[in-house]
Amino acid sequence: MLTLPFDEPPSNQTGSPFRTGWAANQLVRSVKPEPGRAPEDTFECRRQNGERNDREEEEEEDEEEEEEEKEQGGGQRRRGSYTKKASQARLERVRLRRIEANARERNRMHSLNNALDRLRKVVPCHSRKQKLSKIETLRLARNYIWALSEILNTGKRPDLLTFVQTLCKGLSQPTTSLVASCLQLNPRSFILEPGGESFPLYPAYHHHHHGAEAVGCSSADSGRPLGSFCGPYESLYDSPSPDGSSPLDAGTLNPAVNFDGIFSLKREEPVDYRSCHYGPRYCSVSQGSSADLGQYDVRLRGQFYQAQEELSKPFTY
DNA sequence: TAGGCCATCTGGTCCT
DNA sequence: AGGACCAGATGGCCTA
């Protein structure tokens, strides 16, 4: 399922929260429930069980200490109160450590989310309005890498349909639809059944949008079954699917410098869109379709530079 | 309302 | 000892 983007990732982990007294704030928050959060979700309340465990442990320790004192013939009251205070301090330390650990964990997850956001931006279909879920982002990225590596390995251009099928392998239907919309394909034409076979075939493209432009191995307006297209994973790809073994698994993929096809990892000559296999409309941002394509980025060709630049950035958290 | 996704807390484990 | 990493639990939000 696609999820709506949150306003702004809690990014810029410029500093650990507890360097700015965040932990202390949490101590306050632990007493006063955070608005919008159920009371039982507060640190204090949610800790009830764990806290009790900690306290039980502390009390057990205290008992042990007292027993030790008795054994040693001590057991004076002053010393007892002293250990009480000491255990209180220890308890505070334990609580503080927990709060700090929580903050670190939160930070860690934020870093992970930031990385995922960056991944979302370099994945073929990037929507500002509807963002891919984490799992779908990872799946799409994997498929994308797989597809690119196959292109580099075989040196063949995939037809659009095959390419999109590869991208959408294993994705949820909403994500598949999104990718299809990005590439102006009819999702029904290539959505794979669980077994990996295509659904019964329909005219593949939105004729109303850019006309019946021939794409791939077939003419779009012929109504020819998609089976007559370059079959998925057949003509182009040697490996059966992204789910099977891939060159990435084998570690045989060399970093490609120039592939004069759909994707340009590095290009020395000016782009000639007449040679673009998918036509110029797939080489730039789409706009104005029934699926409100204006909100999407399709990262092919020229946009790939941007993607690469994005990838080249050092990871900053 | 159920299900998906997410953020957060938490305790355990491993590593330095 | 303390931090990083991980997975489970929990509750909130959103959508179909």
pLDDT for A243: 60
Strand locations in chain A (E): 125-127, 296-298
Q: Which backbone phi and psi does A128 adopt, to 5 degrees?
A: -80, -25
| Nearest nt (C1') from A133 Cα | B5
Strand C closer than 7 A to residue A35 Cβ:
no
Q: What is the DSSP letter of A42?
A: S
Neighbouring residues of A23: CB distance < 8 A, sequence distance ≥ 6 = A17, A96, A99, A100, A103
Straight-line distance from CA A124 to C1' B13, in Å? 38
**Any bridge partners for residue A298, and if so which?**
A125
Cα angle A290, A292, A295; round to 5 = 160
C-alpha A84/C-alpha A78 separation (Å) is 10
C-alpha A254/C-alpha A142 separation (Å) is 17
pLDDT for A198: 39
Nucleotides on strand C lying under 7 Å from protein C-beta: 2-7, 10-15
CA proximity to A124, closest of A205, A189, A182: A182
Strand C closer than 7 A to residue A314 Cβ:
no
C-alpha A266/C-alpha A308 separation (Å) is 10
Nucleotide C11's nearest residue (CA vs C1') is: A41
**Any bridge partners for residue A198, and if so which?**
A192
Straight-line distance from CA A105 to C1' B16, in Å? 19
pLDDT for A74: 41
Straight-line distance from CA A308 to C1' C11, in Å? 39
What is the token pair recorded at A1?
Answer: 């399922």
- For chain A, the first-to-last Cα distance in angstroms comes to 27
What is the token pair recorded at A53?
Answer: 């465990």
Straight-line distance from CA A8 to C1' C1, in Å? 36
pLDDT for A237: 55
DSSP-assigned states of every residue in A172-196: -HHHHHHHHHHTTB-GGGTPBPTTS
pLDDT for A236: 47
pLDDT for A191: 54
Straight-line distance from CA A179 to C1' B9, in Å? 35
Strand C closer than 7 A to residue A34 Cβ:
no
Nucleotides on strand B lying under 7 Å from protein C-beta: 4-12
Strand C closer than 7 A to residue A105 Cβ:
yes
pTM, two decimal places: 0.56
Straight-line distance from CA A253 to C1' B16, in Å? 35
Q: What is the DSSP letter of A31?
A: H
SS3 A3: strand
CA proximity to A137, closest of A92, A103, A181, A170: A170
Q: What is the mean pLDDT of each run of 10 residues along chain A (317 residues)?
A: 44 34 37 33 37 38 41 49 75 84 88 86 77 87 90 87 84 81 67 41 31 29 30 46 51 31 32 33 32 39 42 40
C-alpha A125/C-alpha A193 separation (Å) is 21
What is the token pair recorded at A119?
Answer: 């991944």
